[in-house]
């Protein structure tokens, strides 16, 4: 990498905690790259393939300074994190403070002042990297809860930039959010953006309410009026500055929902490939050709309601409503945040439950639950989706849940039943799924039985309607509508109406 390319400036800059690839050290000491986990990367990768920009993020390893490089045609700029920053900023503040707080305190959040200091320090580093990589007037799109301070830090350094922020996870109701000792700093950080995107209408509403309560700023529908001081660098750029009804100078910020999606066509293409369909048949056979295969696919996270799903499944077996000869549950639980205590405890709990159910109900020829603690390539996931008669998404709280959309996109045969938690953002759009409240175990059991017994015609009717949604609202549409709102805001035009 020579000096010139290191100093390259881009018109579109994506900033997220993770890069789309993680660096891994092999047994032979050789470093290689593998796809990163999670929905954020899955959604942004196709966007970056279309656009000529750069992606700034962490490569998943400690204490390594890695030069900018290209992976699969995407330009990447790695941001280094030290071992201590991984503990305090990533595992600590991001995943043991913000993650549980923003997911309805399903697990108790921990508040530590050193973690906050590390969060601020690392957010500064990301903002500096973005400021360096951005051409004059460039569009910078910052992602997710790990980087909420970046918009304001970036605006301060580079008032010429057009800054967008998208929150991939829920934004909690004020009664929960207000626990956060740094609640004002986070709001100030986010308000540095021109457009702030959320998954659901409710998330955007929760954010606006927090802004009103904590800052006293006025909001008009999705528009937030941020008063500016005359010495504010933004006051020089007339881009966002107008006067409010009291005659004061304000910057306007748009905060509204932009529900994220998937590369639907890619899933349809994979699902149409003969070798993947053959693999789906093989999976069925390997499981002993049960009448019904149920499937759960999640990062091993306490927000996903895996325990609730297992409980319902175990009770159906105990009550003889289903038998292992007829029904198998395949649970893919991909490893996640394994050094965070809550995740360690969750893994023990889930594996104990799986072991108990299998011990109690499996026979020599049929295993009740095929439990897989791995991540799989997309091809294998699509084969699993095709093999699964019933998909179980039982999240207790989830920003969107892209697995639900992947399942629907993969069912080119217009078959399969989606059981979907109303606490996942996807339930706003996927209304023809069997919608459930995962806390209501009886209701969940009834939905599982209804899914097993659903006649082919009804399955097809529901799946057709679900597919229509996911085909129309794909990830390209999501990013286009966000970037369109962002460019319009650069011209002082905040559309009030929904796209």
In whole angstroms, the minimum distance from the beta carbon of 259 to ligand G6P comes to 14
What's 62's DSSP letter? Answer: B
Q: How far apart are CA 374 and CA 41, in angstroms?
A: 18
Smallest gap from Cβ 374 to ligand G6P, in A, equals 15
> Nearest approach, Cβ of 361 to ligand G6P (angstroms)?
32
Tokens linked to 133: 């990589």
Parallel, antiparallel or unpaired: strands 223-227 and 249-257: antiparallel
Cα distance between residue 197 and residue 216, in whole Å? 21
Nearer to ligand G6P, 22 or 160 (CB): 22
Task: Please report how close the Cβ of residue 449 comes to ligand G6P at its closest, in angstroms.
Answer: 31
Residue 167: which residues within 8 A CB-CB, separation 6 or more?
Answer: 144, 145, 196, 197, 198, 199, 203, 399
Q: Are 212 and 253 in contact (CB under 8 A)?
A: no
Query: 3-class DSSP state for residue 292?
Result: strand
Q: How far is the CB of 95 from ligand G6P (least distance, A)?
A: 6
β-sheet bridge partners, residue 393: 420
Distances in Å between the alpha carbon of 111 and those of 101, 106, 220, 387?
10, 15, 33, 44
* Closer Cβ to ligand G6P, 40 or 140, answer by number: 40
- Kindly tell me which of 33 and 441 has the beta carbon lying closer to ligand G6P: 33
Q: Which residues bind ligand G6P (CB under 6 A)?
A: 17-18, 37-40, 95, 144, 168-169, 336-337
In eight-state DSSP terms, residue 191 is T
By C-beta, is 95 or 479 nearer to ligand G6P? 95
Contact 399, 168 (CB under 8 A): yes
Q: How far is the CB of 169 from ligand G6P (least distance, A)?
A: 5
Shortest Å, Cβ 343 to ligand G6P: 10
Q: How far is the CB of 98 from ligand G6P (least distance, A)?
A: 10
The whole-angstrom separation of Cα 335 and Cα 19 is 18
Cβ closest to ligand G6P, residue 18 vs residue 405: 18
Shortest Å distance, C-beta 34 to ligand G6P: 12
Chain residue whose CB lies nearest ligand G6P:
38
Given the complex with ligand G6P, which of 206 and 336 has the nearer CB atom? 336
Q: Which is nearer to ligand G6P, 144 or 203 (CB)?
A: 144
Instruction: Select 162 or 395, whichever has its Cβ closest to ligand G6P.
Output: 395
Residues 6+ apart with CB under 8 A from 446: none
- The smaller minimum CB distance to ligand G6P, of residues 336 and 432, is found at 336
Phi/psi of residue 383, nearest 5 degrees? -60, -40
**Cα→Cα distances 278→208, 283, 289, 292, 312, Å:** 50, 9, 14, 18, 31
Residue 250, token pair as written in the block: 């304000």
> Can you give the length of the chain in residues?
499
Which tokens in the block code for residue 335? 């490893």
Q: Tell me the HSE value of 193 on the side-chain side, using a 13 A CA sphere.
A: 33
Are residues 30 and 154 in contact, defined by beta-carbon separation less than 8 angstroms? no
- Tell the smallest beta-carbon distance from residue 140 to ligand G6P (Å): 17
Spatial CB neighbours of 359, under 8 Å, sequence gap ≥ 6: none
Q: How far is the CB of 336 from ligand G6P (least distance, A)?
A: 6
User: Residue 108 corresponds to which tokens in the numbers above?
Assistant: 């108790």
d(CA 192, CA 147): 12
First to last CA, the chain: 42
Compare residues 401 and 489 and give the one whose CB is closer to ligand G6P. 401
Q: How many CB atoms are closer than 10 A to CB 390?
A: 24
Yes or no: say if 378 and 338 are a contact pair by the CB < 8 Å rule: no
Minimum CB distance to ligand G6P smaller for 21 or for 250: 21
We find the least distance from the C-beta atom of residue 91 to ligand G6P, in angstroms, to be 9
Pick 166 or 313: Cβ nearer ligand G6P: 166
């Amino acid at each position: 990498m020579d000096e010139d390319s290191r100093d390259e400036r881009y018109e579109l800059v994506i900033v997220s905690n993770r890069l789309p690839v993680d660096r891994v050290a092999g047994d032979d000491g050789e470093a290689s790259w593998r796809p990163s986990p999670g929905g954020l990367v899955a959604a942004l990768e196709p966007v970056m393939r279309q656009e000529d920009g750069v992606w700034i993020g962490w490569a998943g390893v400690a204490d390594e300074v890695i030069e900018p490089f290209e992976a699969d045609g995407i330009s990447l700029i790695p941001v280094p994190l030290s071992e201590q920053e991984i503990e305090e900023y990533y595992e600590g503040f991001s995943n043991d403070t913000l993650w549980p707080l923003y997911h309805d305190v399903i697990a108790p959040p921990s508040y530590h002042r050193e973690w906050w200091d590390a969060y601020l320090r690392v957010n500064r580093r990301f903002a500096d990297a973005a400021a360096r990589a951005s051409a004059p007037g460039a569009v910078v799109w910052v992602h997710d809860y790990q980087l909420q301070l970046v918009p304001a830090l970036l605006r301060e350094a580079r008032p010429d930039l057009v800054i967008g922020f998208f929150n991939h996870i829920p934004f909690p109701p004020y009664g929960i959010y207000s626990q956060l000792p740094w609640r004002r700093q986070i709001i100030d950080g986010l308000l540095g953006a021109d457009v702030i995107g959320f998954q659901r209408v409710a998330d955007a509403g929760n954010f606006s309410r927090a802004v009103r309560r904590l800052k006293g700023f006025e909001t008009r529908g999705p528009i937030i009026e941020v008063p500016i001081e005359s010495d504010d660098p933004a006051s020089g750029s007339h881009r966002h500055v107008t006067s409010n009804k009291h005659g004061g100078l304000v910057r306007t910020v748009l905060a509204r929902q932009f529900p994220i999606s998937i590369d639907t066509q890619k899933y349809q293409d994979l699902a149409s490939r003969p070798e993947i369909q053959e693999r789906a048949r093989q999976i069925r056979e390997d499981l002993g050709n049960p009448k019904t295969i149920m499937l759960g696919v999640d990062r091993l996270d306490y927000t996903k309601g895996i325990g609730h799903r297992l409980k319902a499944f175990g009770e159906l077996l105990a009550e003889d409503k289903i038998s292992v000869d007829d029904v198998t549950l395949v649970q893919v639980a991909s490893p996640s945040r394994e050094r965070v205590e809550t995740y360690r405890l969750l893994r023990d709990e889930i594996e104990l439950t799986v072991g108990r159910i299998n011990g109690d109900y499996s026979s020599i020829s049929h295993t009740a639950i095929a439990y897989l603690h791995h991540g799989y390539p997309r091809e294998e996931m699509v084969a699993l989706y095709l093999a699964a008669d019933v998909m179980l998404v039982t999240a207790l709280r989830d920003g969107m849940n892209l697995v639900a959309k992947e399942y629907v996109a993969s069912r080119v045969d217009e078959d399969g039943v989606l059981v979907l938690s109303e606490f996942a953002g996807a339930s706003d759009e996927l209304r023809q799924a069997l919608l459930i409240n995962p806390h209501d175990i009886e209701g969940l059991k009834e939905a599982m039985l209804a899914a097993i017994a659903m006649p082919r015609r009804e399955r097809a009717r529901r799946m057709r309607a679900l597919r229509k949604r996911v085909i129309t609202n794909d990830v390209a549409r999501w990013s286009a509508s966000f970037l369109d709102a962002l460019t319009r805001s650069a011209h002082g035009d905040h559309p009030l109406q929904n796209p």
